[in-house]
Amino acid sequence: MGIIWENPFLKGRYVLFVRRMIQIAKPDIRRKEIELVTEVLKSGALTQGAYVSKFEENFASFIGTKHGISCSSGTSALTTAVEAAGIGPGDEVITTPFTFIASSNAILYSRAKVVFADIDERTFNIDPVSIVSKITDKTKAVLVVHLYGQPCRMNEIRKICDDNDLLLIEDCAQAHGAEYKGKKVGSIGDVSAFSFYATKNMVTGEGGMIMTDNDAIAEKSRVIINQGQVNRYDHIMVGYNNRMTNIEAAIGLGQFSRLRMMTAKRRENASYLSEKLKGIEWLEVPFTEEGCSHVWHQYTVKVDGALRDSLFDYLNKNGVGARVYYPKPSYMQPAYQELGYKEGLCPVSESVSKRVISLPVHPLLTKADLGKIVEVVKGFR
């Protein structure tokens, strides 16, 4: 959006003033990352090497797991984690449909069956009660997603898995540093996966990491991501080239050094928005579960379904880069409809998907940005 103004001093000349858009996400890249990447470029060791190893060690120590295995993307990390955990044909894996489609695709890549459980309307995360209702004698695992940066109810879900001899897989793509009752997500399940995509709470451009305390899963993961090799030209299985590069790891090391600071800013921004937006009759601010340490990958509010699309248009026309994550459950995507999934499978997910809208909350927002977001939201009605 912009304003066209005729310049009285330049007859016939017009100037276009472009209204600044407050972006929904913006990577915070600083001198540290640039210096580390420059080191890598000067070294000539661009692929896997010392920077990757250091990044894996630092992040695993932070999350609290024995192993960290870096990957080329969050999707490849999750896909590898599922395969390394032994999920395969004939198995069923329970997961949420209210997330990015990569979460359930990771199950399909292993030729297992995706079983969708519904979500808690307040937290947007998978509902433990719904998980229990979906367990069959073919169920092999539960794959949870800590959506928008808020942990799932992990104590309940861990107990369900233990009582039913199920693997617990965590998709932590949006939850770097989030904690449930004092324990970091990514360290509670049998294996987990993080993403460092350019819009995440910490970034490497693309990139991901598998976290686990299980030696066998870690060993198999390292083989899978490296073309199935255990030694050079010694391939024991069909694998992939899912390795992270030193360049990406260098960015990750710089980001990791400021992760706590960036998370604190996200929390500060979220608190400001909730304080200023609470009490608006037609809008519901986010709910945080007791015992959860939210890291606010997204600040997601709920509105009446009849208002959502017009609010989305209004915000973006007025310089606030709002987004909808996610406009439909995964099983309502055409690719899943072809597999036989039907509308009505998870009513809460379907209802929520029509009502959510996310506002900018990233750490580069200024006080002026936050004030404008509140002003524009309040001006909608």
State phi, psi for 208 to the nearest 5 degrees. Answer: -160, 175
Rounded to whole angstroms, how far apart are CA atoms 210 and 192?
A: 6
> To the nearest whole percent, how much of the chain has pLDDT over 90?
94
Characterize the bridge pairing of strands 283-284 and 299-303.
antiparallel
Neighbouring CB atoms inside 10 A of 239's CB total 18
Rounded to whole angstroms, how far apart are CA atoms 289 and 292?
A: 6
Residue 153: pLDDT over 60: yes
Contacts of 199 (CB under 8 A, 6+ apart): 24, 25, 27
Average pLDDT over residues 343-348: 98
Contacts of 252 (CB under 8 A, 6+ apart): 55, 59, 196, 202, 203, 204, 207
Across the chain, mean pLDDT equals: 95
Average pLDDT over residues 59-66: 98
Cβ–Cβ under 8 Å, residues 53 and 69: no
Residue 16: pLDDT over 60: no
Query: Hey, what are 250's tokens?
Result: 């260098």
Query: Hey, what are 143's tokens?
Result: 């794959």
What pLDDT score does 20 carry?
85
What pLDDT score does 195 carry?
98
- Give the C-alpha distances (Å, rounded to integers) separating 84 from 141, 192, 222, 278, 296: 13, 11, 9, 45, 30
284: enclosing H helix or E strand: strand 283-284
Report which residue type is found at 65. Answer: T
Q: Is the peptide bond before 326 cis (omega within 30 degrees of 0)?
A: yes
Rounded to whole angstroms, how far apart are CA atoms 201 and 174?
A: 7
Give residue-wise pLDDT tens across range 195-230. Answer: 999 999 999 999 999 999 999 999 999 999 999 999
Cβ–Cβ under 8 Å, residues 75 and 193: no
Contacts of 231 (CB under 8 A, 6+ apart): none
Contacts of 29 (CB under 8 A, 6+ apart): 203, 251, 254
* Mean pLDDT lowest among 5-19, 88-102, 173-187, 272-286: 5-19
- What the chain holds in terms of domains, given with CATH numbers, is 31-256 (3.40.640.10), 259-378 (3.90.1150.10)
Closest CA to 356 of 348, 345, 364, 365: 348
Confidence of residue 19 (pLDDT cuts 50, 70, 90): low
Give residue-wise pLDDT tens across range 302-334. Answer: 999 999 999 999 999 999 999 999 999 999 999
Q: Is the pTM of this model over 0.85?
A: yes
Cβ–Cβ under 8 Å, residues 251 and 39: no
Residue 18: pLDDT over 80: no
State phi, psi for 205 to the nearest 5 degrees. Answer: 105, -80
Residue 13: pLDDT over 90: no
Residue 10: pLDDT over 50: no
Contacts of 248 (CB under 8 A, 6+ apart): 196, 204, 205, 206, 207
Size of the chain, expressed as the number of residues it contains: 381
3-state secondary structure of 228: coil
Rounded to whole angstroms, how far apart are CA atoms 359 and 329?
A: 20
Neighbouring CB atoms inside 10 A of 125's CB total 24
Average pLDDT over residues 351-364: 98
Give residue-wise pLDDT tens across range 113-152. Answer: 999 999 999 999 999 999 999 999 999 999 999 999 999 9
Confidence of residue 190 (pLDDT cuts 50, 70, 90): very high
What pLDDT score does 344 carry?
97
